[in-house]
Structure 1
């Protein structure tokens, strides 16, 4: 079979295309969650209130964060690096993940059909770990550190599942066909309706 025929064979086989497309879209989605986490967590930290337009941030956010780089992502990465949330290796990892994300996003069809090689499946766990590292820092060093219920409490970091990671785990369960979460949600909604009557 020629290379051209092999590509068509791969493209027309749902058992090959479905998981390949799934992993590609999950990589892109998770990378966007990572970018949002990098930017939004810091912006929320500098939040001073709410308005009709959303969160109102302190002028310090512009000077102490956004003033570092014209890109909010890189300005935020710089802030995270300075505050030792991430290190030089993490910055290099981010660049590799960004390159992979761009390849997958711009050549999705070619990757799914096997015409272009990509290591996004292998890098997926690295992406999740970087997201977890950043989110965990915020939970431990900001949320728990400012919660009076956790003052002087010993915290097991391994037992913490940050919200972004929990959401990602739920999404992976749902797209894999698991309906347990949906069933539990429907049961809870039904109880709430009965209690409201």
Structure 2
């Protein structure tokens, strides 16, 4: 059991709180990206045009996806399972990750200050890999499969870095103080002579 003095020591130490807060917020952020990926990728797959109000999601979306559950998230997970993007183990993993995300969202102060135990740091890589698995499936089975430039080409699945993963990697680098991306961007901007 942690003493009150130990909790205050942890709470007041920036070297303890800063990385703990960073990992907690990265976990929540990555989980939100995962949920968006699960729902949005499928919905976008069923878009069949647009009008003055925006994108038009075709009627097949309601029939093939939304009708599976009252929750569009769980309807989408079921669709992913049917198409073997994910399996039962992935669904169990998702539920565990969701519990951690909810704990962080509702008890962030207590987790960051060490008053409540959380498994978020150990499970971050699991969360990242589930997101990567789903995103890579879309790249291989939709984006590349429908692009004639990749016909009859062998695809290196491990070498694929989907946009969501690249964005997260960049965010982690920047948030941890790495300035290499900023410097590269500045050099490119100067070389192009643009101020945009």
Question: Secondary structure in 2 aligned to 1:133?
Answer: helix
In structure 2, distance between residues paired with 1:85 and 1:9: 46
Question: Secondary structure in 2 aligned to 1:129?
Answer: helix
* Number of positions where the alignment pairs a residue of Structure 1 with one of Structure 2: 195
In structure 2, distance between residues paired with 1:195 and 1:73: 41
Counterpart for residue 189 of structure 1: 189
Question: Secondary structure in 2 aligned to 1:48?
Answer: strand
Structure 2: 5+ residue stretches without partners: none
Is 2:94 the partner of 1:78?
no
What is the Cα deviation at residue 21 of structure 1? Answer: 0.2
- Alignment RMSD: 1.5
Is 2:109 the partner of 1:102?
no
What is the Cα deviation at residue 179 of structure 1? Answer: 1.1
Counterpart for residue 171 of structure 1: 171
* TM norm structure 2: 0.95
In structure 1, distance between residues paired with 2:35 and 2:52: 25
Show CA shifts across 1:106-142 (max 9, x none).
0000000100000000000000000000000000011
Contact 2:189–2:195 at 8 Å: present in 1 too?
no
Question: Secondary structure in 1 aligned to 2:193?
Answer: helix
In structure 1, distance between residues paired with 2:185 and 2:67: 44
Contact 2:100–2:118 at 8 Å: present in 1 too?
yes
* TM norm structure 1: 0.95
Structure 1: 5+ residue stretches without partners: none
